[in-house]
Chains A and B, each alone.
Chain A
Amino acid sequence: MSEATSAETAGAETASSEIVVQTRALSKVYRDFWGRQKVRALKSLDLEVRKGEVFGLLGPNGSGKTTTIKLLLGLLFPTEGEALLFGKDSSDVSKNERLGYLPEESYLYRFLNAEETLDFYGRLFDMPADVREQRIDELIKMVGLDRARKRQLQEYSKGMTRRIGLAQALINNPELILLDEPTSGLDPIGTREMKDMILRLKAEGKTVVMCSHLLADVQDVCDRIAILHQGELKELGRVDTLLTVADVTQLRAKGLTGECQQELRDVIARHHGELLEMNNPTTTLEDLFLKIVRDSEARPGRRASIEGADDNKTGGVATAD
């Protein structure tokens, strides 16, 4: 946790002005064969992701996260608006040179083994044989599949498939990595490793755009998040500021005696403060997330009214160890 926090602050400072991903009024309507409208999956999304950021797309199932990623990749054509990667239109193939993509599920050729898979994708980047070989070896070790490198993917477990999927996404040492639910199917250790991986990429100066509905993951690694609901952008901002509650002071301490606690209560009472609780805080992002979703369901079409992000500079979080 502490490692993550320091990386985040470092990221915040180094976030340069270079915009890697940009969407302008990006919209997507799924139509059926006859051109009849089926679903408005994304409604006029405006986003900017800068170089070196870890950006999280959040939202409940079916809120348009995957749709957004596919639009960025050019796998889908926008109904309206445009998506630019590295300043190029998403339909431009040459953008793929600097990009890595881990799909929702690993869509890989099941009859290839790990080495063949990476070799195949390496060739698609026109990598010369020696570079390819070295990179494949590195990646297989990195994702921990060294012992299964000669086995066909159809024999892989879900988590192993996910790992080779990640390796495949990194074969070209990309500058921008798009991860669609990177931790799904991974065990807690795998999840931890994936998160560390993302932070490592960030430390290397890469840009990461990930989507997930696993809030803890997002909270741990993302610098900024966007929350989508039913295809609409509901919230956008820095994770640390979004999660700060302005008028509440949190205090964490260890080894306090009962007397000392009583003393604290007295101090608070003397200053006309109201003590809310004095035990472990529960998850924080989850609360925000659920509140936004409920709000949005109650009053569709409007932005959620949680505006804690902008006016909270005064309320610091005190943490005593």
Chain B
Amino acid sequence: MLKINGVYKTFHPGTVSEKKAICGVDLHLKPGDFVTVIGGNGAGKSTLLNLVAGVFPADEGTITLDGINLTHMPEHKRAAYLGRVFQDPMTGTAATMEIHEHLALASRRGKRRGLGWGICRAEREDYFERLKTLDLGLENRMSQKVGTLSGGQRQALTLLMATMKQPKLLLLDEHTAALDPKTAQKVLTLTQKLIEDQNLTAMMVTHNMQDAITYGNRLIMMKDGTIILDIEGEEKKHLTVEILLEKFAQTSGSTFSSDRALLS
């Protein structure tokens, strides 16, 4: 499904603040793969997802999705094939726009936007039903501004938007990190449900090792812009945090240093 081949990315090359963020990543995902991505701060997890999404171009290498070459495609065009949820609930939604307008925007992703109505009555009924499945009561406040919603509600709405058009790939970048534990759990459960219902291919960055083990059928660990661990199938099923830490020590020759990743 997703084929990342020999991708490199350096920020501010040739300056004092030069930063090699991705140093040769190869990653192939099969249709329906649900990959969790872990790694310390600055390992390059977000950069990898942003390269796939087209936030900035790769310096080298190619990225294809279901046979479509994304390498030189601008971000808004790639959006037709992708669903994205961000770490900050503010990023995925627009505070001054109404709830149903968000779903209308998402339903037009990948289509030509013209002079037809931005939202019509028939759609609203569909959105009512979709919002109802979230079980957050949002269906009764469809014309409220999203700025009035909590972080968890905004993430749930973003998830709904991201999965609405059955994306070829769902990109989740620590999308529960800004939420309190209870809300984070709810959003994770919803994520799992949406992925299973539509059999989506997904990449989920998380700083929580246990979540990385519990969810998905494959796990990759990143360090210094490369993938240092790639575990799938039966091996992934029997993984524990201890085994993971041990493997990390073996491959990288050091102990996992991010307290954040250990404690949460």
A and B bind: no
Interface positions of B (Cβ within 8 A of A): none
